Amino acid sequence: MRLTFVHCTNRAYADTQMFGIHFMPVWAYTLAAHLEALPDVQLVLFDDRFEARATIGEADLFLFTGINQDFEAIAQLGEELRLRFPRAKYAIGGPVCWSFQTAGKIERLARFDYVFVGDGEEALPEFILALKSGRPVPRIIAAPQRFDLSKALPMHRRLLAQTVHRYYGAIVEVSRGCPFLCEFCDIRVLPDNNRSHIKDPALIVSELDALWDLNVRQVLFACDNFIGSHGWAEDVCDAIHAWMQATGKRMSLYTWLTIDLSRHPRLLSKLRMAGFDMFFIGVESFNRSSLLETAKLQNTALGMAEAVRGIQSYGFIVVAGLIMGFDTDPDDITEVMLDGILRSGLISGDPSLLTALPGTPLYKRMQLSGRLRDAKLGLGGFKYQTNIKYLRPVDRIRADFKSFVRRFNQGAYQYSRLLAFYSCMEAPQYQPPRTSGYADLRRLLRLVFRNSRYLYLLVLRFAMLVRSPVRVFYILRAVILTLRKHSSQRPHWFYLKFWLFNWSNSILKYSSLSDADFDIDSVESNFNRENILPLGYEESSEEQVAASKVRAQRNATVKALKIFIGQGH
Ligand code: B12
Ligand code: SF4
């Protein structure tokens, strides 16, 4: 049986958000490993970002995956292939299937012969065996529970070796699940996902070792929250550190985690020793009531700026997820966010507008109050084409977003950010990087130089940066400041490169942002404000989460919204 994994993404989105940096299709290497033992199965990986569609060969089964953003591109390629290979079967899995199913729109996937919802490690081999033996299989195949990650296999070695060089570094999935309960998050609502499912640290180290031999030096640890289980996170760091000591090999690591890390100095030190140098953290907002509204309580337990500075004081860079468009966002949200970023010393981070992912309490609240809209499949997950009706007028939200990115990209503001970051580095606990860093410019450039389109974007990035004399002035100031401060113990150059790369990214991303890029809406002028907390929101829940936890989230959200409604804004 010939089986082709098809990785297909929305090219426009990739061009404007990623600028030539492509990440590997972990799903394909992961699932391929679980098919290896099946007799007479030939595996091929096709990645639309690198290969011409005309080169796709005939197969018996084409397997697609996707996130919501990519769905239109995937569906189109699926149609093309069906015309060329009408006898083949077509299957799809991944986050988009979960989103469609939870939104009650699974029929939108009707053009696929089979739809997989949930983890595929066990479901896919069983399905293929059934298909080969002619046994009947349902069209929608839902995994009954999360795959037990203690049974995880190393990623498929042959496919990895053949293709890994095309991507930026590598990705190793290390855990699934997160113990928190943010209102807008669809990670917590996946079945049995409100706790950590962890891989054996020894398997993680063996993946790193195999990747090192393939000349990979940058690794992204895919998970929902790396410190969902603190004890395990420490064990992983210890195992990596022991591997580094024994072999002299070392990787630059990047992962997702939560702000409560700032309260754990021993874990912070261990993460540093293991080679981590960047963390993505959902900071979301510097407005306290917005965080309470979304029940991101871990972000309110400490002062946000102090917590980010505390983490960065060890030498890490915090890449912040930032969201605007919460119900309780004040009219001066732009000021609040810009001020918060400066106080935290953040040199990275990107804003989005709040969207409601299917299955989340936020989605339910929007649905019950008639605030859901059908933009872009109605599934949420897009940056500024969103599926909810905001409370603040749409013109204000658009103007705020644009004002935010304009001021964010100004030289004086960027310079102040850098200064604030450098002040974090003065702490006694600071530890210099031991590697070239996760965001290694030389490696990034090597990828970009292979593709004329991305090379053009690179030239454009620098042209835009130096076109403004004010920007050039602040870059020179930053260089002088860095020269004055740099030492081997505190290598400021390392961070200056990252700051410049990020700033130029942001200029490139937002310079052409216009009203036409937004597809957003607000509630009608006669919207009853009591409906911010619609009837039914506080009642039933289909989540497989302990009732007390669900209540805790709802109580936080309800309390914040009641105060807001009472204030009669
Ligand atoms: C790593 C990662 C990234 C990386 C790299 C992604 C890549 N490889 O290209 C980066 C940082 C670039 C990234 C960016 C974004 N990401 Co991201 N990312 C992840 C993360 C943390 C891990 C993905 C992963 O590799 N998991 C490991 C693999 C093994 O899991 P998997 O793909 O889900 O596959 C399993 C099952 O789904 C199933 N399966 C999947 N496909 C198929 C197919 C078949 C046929 C079968 C049988 C089974 C099957 O089997 C697999 C094994 O169980 C996930 C969250 C998560 N924990 O999964 C978010 C996630 C995928 N990202 C998400 C989003 C929204 C984004 C962004 C749009 C964010 C933004 N606003 O900019 C961007 C878009 C990127 C782009 N297209 O340009 C969402 C998608 C939600 C959705 N429903 O669409 C997720 C789920 C997080 C979340 N819940 O919010 N991301
Ligand atoms: S902390 Fe992050 S992953 Fe966990 S529930 Fe909140 S948003 Fe989701």
Residue 419, pLDDT above cutoff 90: yes
State the average pLDDT over residues 230-255: 98
Residue 376, pLDDT above cutoff 90: no
Asked if residue 388 lies in contact with residue 363, where contact means CB atoms within 8 angstroms, the answer is: no
DSSP structural state of residue 372:
B
Residue to mutate (ligand 2; options 182, 260, 352; most atoms within 8 A of CB) = 182
- Measure 180 CA to ligand 2 centroid, in angstroms: 6
Residue to mutate (ligand 2; options 183, 188, 296, 557; most atoms within 8 A of CB) = 188
For ligand 2, residues with CB inside 6 Å are 178, 180-182, 185, 187-188, 224-225, 258, 282
Q: Where residue 451 falls among pLDDT bands split at 50, 70, 90?
A: confident
Q: Map out the domains of the chain as residue ranges.
A: 2-142, 168-357, 441-510, 528-566
Please tell me the residue having the least CA distance from ligand 1 atom 16.
67
Q: What is the pLDDT of residues 85-95, one digit of tens each?
A: 999 999 999 99
The pLDDT, as a whole number, for residue 549 is 80
Average pLDDT for the chain: 93
Number of the ligand 1 atom closest to the C-alpha atom of 66: 41
Residue 239 identity: A
| C-alpha dist (Å) from residue 25 to 94, 280, 320 | 11, 20, 24
Q: What is the number of the ligand closest to the CA of 175?
A: 1
State the average pLDDT over residues 197-216: 98
- Measure 362 CA to ligand 2 centroid, in angstroms: 13
Q: Which residues of 45-57 are buried (b: 16+ CB within 10 A; e: fewer)?
A: bbbbbeeeeeebe
Number of the ligand 2 atom closest to the C-alpha atom of 178: 4
Residue 428 identity: P
Number of the ligand 1 atom closest to the C-alpha atom of 120: 50
Residue 381, pLDDT above cutoff 80: no
Number of the ligand 1 atom closest to the C-alpha atom of 67: 84
List the CATH code of the domain at 2-142. Answer: 3.40.50.2300
| C-alpha dist (Å) from residue 418 to 57, 321, 474, 530 | 50, 18, 11, 43
State the average pLDDT over residues 287-298: 94
The pLDDT, as a whole number, for residue 268 is 98
The rounded distance, in Å, linking the Cα atoms of 267 and 257 is 12
The pLDDT, as a whole number, for residue 4 is 98
Number of the ligand 1 atom closest to the C-alpha atom of 141: 47
Please tell me the residue having the least CA distance from ligand 2 atom 2.
282
- Measure 257 CA to ligand 2 centroid, in angstroms: 9
Collapsing DSSP to helix, strand or coil, 332 comes out as coil
Nearest to 7 by CA among 82, 59, 77: 77
Neighbour-count burial of 83, counting CB atoms closer than 10 A to its CB (0-12 exposed, 13-18 middle, 19+ buried): exposed
Residue 249, pLDDT above cutoff 60: yes
Q: What is the number of the ligand closest to the CA of 281?
A: 2
Helix H or strand E segment including 254: strand 252-257
Helices 492-510, 411-424: inter-axial angle, 10-degree rounding: 150
- Measure 329 CA to ligand 1 centroid, in angstroms: 28
Q: Which of 197-201, 460-464, 483-487 bottoms out in mean pLDDT, i.e. has the lowest? A: 460-464
- Measure 492 CA to ligand 1 centroid, in angstroms: 33
Q: Which of 34-38, 147-151, 274-278, 551-555 bottoms out in mean pLDDT, i.e. has the lowest? A: 551-555
Residue to mutate (ligand 2; options 183, 187, 197; most atoms within 8 A of CB) = 187
List the CATH code of the domain at 168-357. Answer: 3.20.20.70
Q: What is the pLDDT of residues 515-534, one digit of tens each?
A: 988 999 999 999 999 999 99
Number of the ligand 1 atom closest to the C-alpha atom of 382: 71
What's the predicted TM-score (pTM) here? Answer: 0.95
The pLDDT, as a whole number, for residue 144 is 87
The rounded distance, in Å, linking the Cα atoms of 47 and 11 is 12
Number of the ligand 2 atom closest to the C-alpha atom of 298: 1
Q: What is the pLDDT of residues 133-159, one digit of tens each?
A: 999 999 999 998 899 999 999 999 999
Chain center to CA of 168: 15
Please tell me the residue having the least CA distance from ligand 1 atom 39.
94
Residue 569, pLDDT above cutoff 60: no
The pLDDT, as a whole number, for residue 15 is 67
- Measure 27 CA to ligand 1 centroid, in angstroms: 9
Number of the ligand 2 atom closest to the C-alpha atom of 188: 5
- Greater confidence (308 vs 459) lies with 308
Neighbour-count burial of 303, counting CB atoms closer than 10 A to its CB (0-12 exposed, 13-18 middle, 19+ buried): middle
The rounded distance, in Å, linking the Cα atoms of 280 and 312 is 12
| C-alpha dist (Å) from residue 78 to 56, 101, 510 | 12, 19, 32
Number of the ligand 2 atom closest to the C-alpha atom of 185: 8
Q: What is the pLDDT of residues 47-82, one digit of tens each?
A: 998 999 999 999 999 999 999 889 999 999 999 999
Helices of type H across 1-57:
11-18, 26-35
Q: Which two tokens stand for residue 419?
A: 């200064």
The pLDDT, as a whole number, for residue 382 is 67
Asked if residue 291 lies in contact with residue 284, where contact means CB atoms within 8 angstroms, the answer is: yes
| C-alpha dist (Å) from residue 133 to 2, 129, 137 | 15, 6, 11
CA dihedral over 191, 195, 201, 206, signed as positive or negative: positive
Residue 16, pLDDT above cutoff 80: no
For ligand 1, residues with CB inside 6 Å are 9, 13-14, 17-18, 23, 25-27, 30-31, 63, 65, 67-70, 91-96, 99, 116, 119-121, 123-124, 147, 171, 173, 176, 186-187, 222-224, 256, 352, 381, 383
Q: Which two tokens stand for residue 222?
A: 């895919």
Residue 284, pLDDT above cutoff 80: yes
Q: Which two tokens stand for residue 161?
A: 């070796």
**What percentage of the chain reaches a pLDDT higher than 90?**
77
Q: What are phi and psi of 177, to 5 degrees?
A: 100, 160
The rounded distance, in Å, linking the Cα atoms of 89 and 68 is 22
Q: What is the pLDDT of residues 213-222, one digit of tens each?
A: 999 999 999 9
Question: Which residue has tokens 């939200």?
Answer: 397
Q: What is the pLDDT of residues 347-369, one digit of tens each?
A: 998 889 999 998 899 999 999 99
Q: Where residue 437 falls among pLDDT bands split at 50, 70, 90?
A: very high
Collapsing DSSP to helix, strand or coil, 182 comes out as coil
Q: Where residue 19 falls among pLDDT bands split at 50, 70, 90?
A: low
Asked if residue 163 lies in contact with residue 45, where contact means CB atoms within 8 angstroms, the answer is: yes
DSSP 53-104: GGGPPP-SEEEEE--GGGHHHHHHHHHHHHHH-TTSEEEEESHHHHHHHHTT
- Measure 233 CA to ligand 2 centroid, in angstroms: 17
The rounded distance, in Å, linking the Cα atoms of 274 and 269 is 9
- Measure 548 CA to ligand 1 centroid, in angstroms: 29
The rounded distance, in Å, linking the Cα atoms of 98 and 68 is 10
